[in-house]
Amino acid sequence: MTNTQALFSAKLLQEFLSIVSDEVGEKNLPVVLNKSSLPTDWANAKTIKHLGAQAAAESYAGLQQAIRAYYGRGARGILQRIGSKFWESLLENASFKEKAQAKLLRGLPETRRRKAALDLLIRLLDAKSDDMKAHTLDLNLLLVDSISPTTYNQRDDEPICHVTHGLIRETIYWATSTDAQIEEISCQAMGDKNCEFKILFGE
């Protein structure tokens, strides 16, 4: 079943577009979109500024789709790198309250920092608690994304949420200064109910 119910913040989409433009080139981005027969207006910050939440999700997914189509096998690394930079942007543009909580979070014991960091990521993405949750699996974690704007109107034979993967990786590294092994074990683009990411710490 194709995901047609996703929502995304137009404000966050503007942050995301800025990172995408820097990564693939501002002049090249309309070409990348055009190759996938997607609106070149999605490369225009002034246009996307006024999008509703569902149209913003469509644009967010479309930008990623266009990069996958244009760059082929190289798209995974590009999108994960965009996700890492997106985390930095989310943190930089967070509210004073969220920045204060982020500072306190880094004073927690490392094992508690991990899930607390993912909970912070979920809040910074403006996701409702029912739409995106982090679960503890012994010493490991599972992030479940049931709304998944990346998969809006997308179908694929393999997981496509590389930006979310990059977000998770950078969030964990920011919180703990260590890398985790991350695997998307289910994806709505493949017809699964949720997009799920298993996060292993190798302990």
Query: Does residue 2 form part of some domain?
Result: no
pLDDT value, residue 69: 96
- The pLDDT tens digits of the residues spanning 55-108 come to 999 999 999 999 999 999 999 999 999 999 999 999 999 999 999 999 999 999
pLDDT value, residue 137: 87
Distance CA 147, CA 150 (A): 9
Distance CA 188, CA 1 (A): 8
Longest distance between any two alpha carbons in the chain, whole Å: 49
Query: Does residue 4 form part of some domain?
Result: no
The rounded percent of the chain whose pLDDT value lies above 90 is: 89
Query: Does residue 108 form part of some domain?
Result: yes
Query: Does residue 43 form part of some domain?
Result: yes
Query: Does residue 3 form part of some domain?
Result: no
Query: Does residue 104 form part of some domain?
Result: yes
pLDDT classification of 111: cutoffs 50, 70, 90? confident
Q: Does residue 139 surpass a pLDDT of 90?
A: no
Q: Does residue 171 surpass a pLDDT of 80?
A: yes
Query: Does residue 1 form part of some domain?
Result: no
Query: Does residue 191 form part of some domain?
Result: yes
pLDDT value, residue 43: 94
β-sheet with 140-145: strand ranges across: 132-137, 140-145, 195-200, 181-186
User: Which pairs with CB-CB distance under 8 Å and at least 24 residues apart come from 63-67?
Assistant: 63/16, 63/17, 63/20, 63/33, 64/150, 64/160, 64/162, 64/163, 65/36, 65/38, 65/154, 66/32, 66/33, 66/35, 66/36, 66/38, 67/20, 67/24, 67/32
What CATH number is attached to the domain comprising 60?
Answer: 3.90.1520.10
- Between 202 and 21, the higher pLDDT residue: 21
pLDDT value, residue 127: 83
State which residues form the domain around 138: 10-200
pLDDT value, residue 202: 72
Q: Total structural domains in the chain? A: 1
- Mean pLDDT, all residues of the chain: 94
End-to-end CA distance of the chain: give it in Å, rounded.
Answer: 37
Q: Does residue 162 surpass a pLDDT of 80?
A: yes
Q: Does residue 203 surpass a pLDDT of 70?
A: no
Q: Does residue 1 surpass a pLDDT of 90?
A: no
Q: Does residue 4 surpass a pLDDT of 90?
A: no
Hey, what amino acid is at 175? A
- The pLDDT tens digits of the residues spanning 16-64 come to 999 999 999 999 999 999 999 999 999 999 999 999 999 999 999 999 9
In this prediction the pTM is 0.94
Q: Does residue 141 surpass a pLDDT of 90?
A: yes
